[in-house]
Amino acid sequence: MRLVKCMTALLCAVQVCLATLAGATPLSITLPPETAVFKPSAMPGYALAQQKCSICHSADYINFQPPGMSLAQWTAEAGKMQHVYGAPISDREVSAIGAYLAVTYGSAKVNDADVQAASNAPAVADAKVDAKALLQNNACLSCHAIDHKVVGPAYRDVAAKYAKDPQAMDRLMSSIQHGGSGKWGDVPMPPFAQLSPDDLKSLATFILQQ
């Protein structure tokens, strides 16, 4: 009998706890702002790492890798992001990012012949790329959509904001190229510094037409 009373009391206590939790206000957690940044460099891979790598992970990820990694190891790591995780980077960009990481975080030297070759590999001459291909290749659609907010604003909302601005094209091209935060909230937009003026104009034109 005593056991039955104990079990009954325990069940009552559990029910009270569950009822209390059910009526409680949902817990809200605010994460601190991102403070990790890639180490600055004049190498071409620095701008690419800022723009492409930060789409998927924090700069802190780099610090989790073993120290002293070689050019081949860092390039393989960048290549893994491309082939395994689908990062929107070309083979040339993999080489440039690998060279930057190997010099800045690894054992390579900026004047090494293989580092220089990887950093300055010529771009393949492509046919004119349209805006939709640029959006896809630069993972813009991971954060934006045409008609609704994702992480960043909808392109239609951007077009509406700049509709009566005579400097809309220049302002939007600059925003895409340099990135920033504060215009549409606290979430930062990475810079797309590697895009050519023609690419920037194609993207800005597409967005303003929505």
| Distance, C-alpha 79 to centroid of its chain | 17
Q: Locate the domains of the chain by residue range.
A: 44-119, 131-208
Q: List, in sequence order, every beta strand (DSSP E) within 23-135.
A: none
Residue 24 burial (CB < 10 Å; 0-12/13-18/19+)?
A: exposed
Are 195 and 138 within 8 A, CB to CB? yes
Domains 44-119 and 131-208 share a fold: yes
pTM beyond 0.75: no
| 131-208: CATH architecture | Orthogonal Bundle (1.10)
**Domain at 44-119: CATH code:** 1.10.760.10
What residues have CB less than 8 Å from 160, skipping those under 6 apart?
A: none
Nearest Cα neighbor of 46 from 117, 105, 109, 134 is 105
- pLDDT tens, per residue, the chain with 210 residues: 554 444 555 555 556 555 555 555 666 666 566 678 899 999 989 988 887 887 778 888 888 888 899 999 999 999 888 888 888 888 888 999 999 999 999 999 999 999 999 988 765 444 456 888 888 888 888 889 999 998 889 999 999 999 889 899 999 999 999 888 888 888 888 888 888 888 899 999 999 989
